[in-house]
Amino acid sequence: MDRQELSQLLMIGVPSGNDLSGVRRLQPGGVVLMGRNAGARAEVRKLCRAIAGECMEAPLIATDQEGGRVQRLVQGFTTIPSMRELGRSGANQVGIMASTVAAELRAVGVHVNFAPVCDVPTHAEDSVIGDRAFSDDAIVAGALAAEYIRGAQPSVMCVAKHFPGHGGVGVDSHHALPTVPEEADVRGTHLPPFRAAIAAGVGGMMVGHLVVPSLDPASIESEIAGAVTTPATLSEPIVSGLLRGELRFRGVVFTDDLDMKALQDFEVEEIVTRAVQAGCDQLLWCHSIDKAQQSLDALERAVRDKVLAEERVRDAIGRVKWAKRKFGVLES
């Protein structure tokens, strides 16, 4: 397996100033646009074309265009209310807004929107989800997420996040690794919106950096033994067992940003090897080209040394290629 194939597992950010040398060097399967890359619509379109032009095989181009606090592309784009506010306007308006946002993204060359948020905020000290969620009622949240997906996916791929649910913790995974309390009703409260997203045909799923002992008991047992706990991103029981096996999700599994401090106790090589072993298909590095380079080197070593099964890697590459064909990046 050559380096060009392995690079399909990477989705990388573009530095401020839109220097594309990292894209040219790494030839990633995906590129994510952040607020630092955003300009007027014509500028974003030009950037997306330039990104594609740097790659031997055009990458998926993604962004976070949720609305409210999280909207990367602003100038010349529709101002999107928070998902909570949008949800209050009813399912029909959710679908209309999703369709509008998706059409604007597709028009400038973006293929993937990291939305909708399917988390259900239940923790009293939740600081990261809040009004990014449609509702604190799991059934309502799921119904509105499904409506969003049906409105958007004729144009761009939706990615439901942050599986298996970030709303039940009081710690922001940007800053530390949260643990979902054992007494939290993960299956009854946090999983239903993701089930609804899968039933609606969502193309992508983003796994969050949070420890969920009720879904992977070994993740907390490792802490008792004095080792580092295992976040869902690196958990085979959660990604392959629950998401792929029990919930039968067949789309692309994205990690959340691997630069987040939730993973600061792990080395880059361990992160990428365990994430792919767990069942993740695209490894998201939003801020560090150097770490993306290290992760590609690590993947190459892991396949060569048979730490990573080639079958698992080819499965991940196949899913990325499927997404590219389905959403018009590559010809069917």
Could you tell me which residues come within 8 angstroms of residue 155 by beta carbon, excluding any fewer than 6 positions away?
A: 99, 102, 103, 105, 106
Please indicate whether residue 64 is annotated as part of the active site.
no
What per-residue confidence (pLDDT) applies to 225?
Answer: 53
What per-residue confidence (pLDDT) applies to 229?
Answer: 84
What per-residue confidence (pLDDT) applies to 21?
Answer: 97
Domains and CATH numbers, the chain: 3-326 (3.20.20.300)
CA distance 119 to 102: 21
**pLDDT tens across the length of the chain (332 residues):** 899 999 999 999 999 999 999 999 999 999 999 999 999 999 999 999 999 999 999 999 999 999 999 999 999 999 999 999 999 999 999 999 999 999 999 999 999 999 999 999 999 889 899 999 999 999 999 999 999 999 999 999 999 999 999 999 988 899 999 999 888 899 999 999 999 999 999 999 999 999 999 999 887 665 555 556 899 999 999 999 999 999 999 999 999 999 999 999 999 999 999 999 999 999 999 999 999 999 999 999 999 999 999 999 999 999 999 999 999 999 86
Collapsing DSSP states into helix, strand and coil, what is residue 209?
Answer: coil
52 DSSP assignment: H
131, 136, 137, 174: which one is catalytic?
Answer: 174
Smallest CA-to-CA distance from 277 within 236, 316, 305 is with 236
What per-residue confidence (pLDDT) applies to 58?
Answer: 97
Q: Containing H/E element for 12?
A: strand 10-13
216, 256, 257, 281: which one is catalytic?
Answer: 256
Please indicate whether residue 111 is annotated as part of the active site.
no
What per-residue confidence (pLDDT) applies to 127?
Answer: 87
Contact at 8 Å (CB) between 251 and 202?
yes
CA distance 223 to 270: 17
What per-residue confidence (pLDDT) applies to 331?
Answer: 82
Contact at 8 Å (CB) between 6 and 279?
no
Collapsing DSSP states into helix, strand and coil, what is residue 110?
Answer: coil
